[in-house]
């Protein structure tokens, strides 16, 4: 009897090596250096305070991963690296990669403890009280780096979420915990009749103002400072939650969803951007891995559409629909009873 193909297991054995190769190259500033021009390992080594032979191995690894091009010993960024790994790119994922390397990578090393205890690993790994978000906002630079990382990720996903349903009947969207404003901006740019409000903590609001000012929809954008668990929500007939509910337990999600339902007018809506699990929980793979990520990092998890629907119905919503967007985040919409039934086809 033939043995099963070991390729999937072998690929998983090596998977973290590829990630760490990219993490290390970005952390050392290789992609930013090569943005300024092609170079050799010999020329880069002194500037990066690296051993030349060891650096050449790292550069070759990046070339094998398709992140760098190599020609006659000279390395240069590929278009992939210029777009996502150069810190000056508007689509840069550098902040998210640094967060993955500096925060997630060490916590994933304690996954077994998280599974045994059913609790995140932030305090165990870093000894910081107050949870993961206190760590993100520990300094102005840490705040900016995390927020810019989320912004780069949001630019990949928010336009697809904005087009998942027909939102044209709404007049004002308030993106709660909206970060740099990428989701509200995407909605306002797609729907010229909608005004946008980005609602987030005072430490994040300046970054949202910077991004809103660059949008063609800037005259319809407003940034409001506040905490959605403590402060009154800004008035709107459509609220949005992008990568928010997966941070929290069902009970805390219920508190927030009931507050949103109470603030909405009849017929108002809630748009959710998160990864959708299959109903049996065994896929899609990115959603399953993200759910494990939330285990090590937060008190939350990813959910299936029926699990979202149960939370939403309990909070007073009806007409719950979900869509896979083809982007890293999916979309769910729910309507508060009392208005005319909405047509939500894209």
Query: What are the catalytic residues?
Result: 246
Distance (Å, rounded) from C-alpha 207 to C-alpha 11?
Answer: 39
Q: What tokens appear for 316 in the block?
A: 């007073």
Q: What tokens appear for 306 in the block?
A: 């029926």
Tell which residue, 86, 30, 92, has the closest CA to residue 58. 30
Cβ–Cβ contacts within 10 Å for residue 153, how many? 22
Which residue in this structure is represented by tokens 């999600």?
253
> Omega of the bond prior to 284 within 30 degrees of 0, cis?
yes
Q: Identify the three-state secondary structure at position 193.
A: coil
Q: Quote the DSSP letter at residue 171.
A: S
Distance (Å, rounded) from C-alpha 199 to C-alpha 222?
Answer: 9
Q: What tokens appear for 143 in the block?
A: 């705040």
> Which stretches does DSSP call E strand in the chain?
68-71, 74-77, 172-176, 195-200, 221-225, 238-242, 269-274, 276-277, 303-304, 318-323, 330-335
């Amino acid at each position: 009897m033939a043995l099963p193909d070991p390729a999937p297991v072998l690929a998983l054995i090596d998977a973290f090596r590829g990630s760490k190769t990219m993490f290390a190259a970005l952390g050392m500033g290789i992609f930013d250096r090569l943005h300024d021009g092609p170079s050799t390992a010999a020329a880069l080594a002194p500037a990066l305070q690296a051993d030349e032979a060891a650096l050449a191995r790292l550069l070759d690894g990046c070339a094998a991963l398709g992140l760098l091009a190599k020609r006659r010993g000279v390395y240069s960024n590929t278009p992939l690296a210029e777009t996502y790994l150069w810190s000056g790119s508007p689509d840069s994922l550098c902040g998210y990669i640094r967060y993955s390397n500096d925060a997630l990578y060490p916590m994933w090393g304690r996954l077994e403890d998280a599974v045994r205890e059913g609790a995140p690993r932030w305090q165990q790994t870093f000894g910081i009280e107050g949870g993961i978000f206190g760590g993100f906002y520990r300094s102005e630079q840490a705040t900016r780096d995390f927020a810019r990382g989320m912004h780069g990720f949001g630019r990949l996903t928010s336009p697809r979420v904005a087009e998942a349903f027909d939102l044209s009947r709404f007049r004002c969207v308030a993106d709660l915990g909206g970060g740099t404003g990428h989701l509200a901006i995407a909605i306002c740019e797609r729907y010229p009749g909608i005004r946008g409000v980005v609602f987030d903590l005072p430490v994040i609001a300046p970054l949202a103002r910077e991004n809103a000012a660059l949008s063609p929809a800037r005259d319809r954008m407003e940034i409001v400072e506040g905490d959605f668990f403590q402060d009154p929500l800004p008035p709107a007939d459509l609220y949005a939650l992008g990568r928010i509910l997966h941070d929290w337990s069902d009970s805390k999600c219920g508190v927030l969803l009931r507050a949103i339902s109470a603030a909405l007018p009849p017929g108002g809506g809630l748009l959710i951007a998160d990864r959708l699990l299959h109903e049996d929980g065994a896929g899609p793979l990115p959603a399953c891995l993200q759910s494990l990520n939330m285990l090590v990092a937060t008190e939350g998890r990813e959910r299936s559409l029926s699990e979202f629907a149960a939370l939403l119905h309990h909070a007073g919503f009806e007409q719950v629909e979900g869509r896979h967007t083809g982007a890293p985040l999916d979309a769910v919409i729910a309507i508060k009873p009392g208005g005319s039934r909405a047509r939500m086809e894209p």
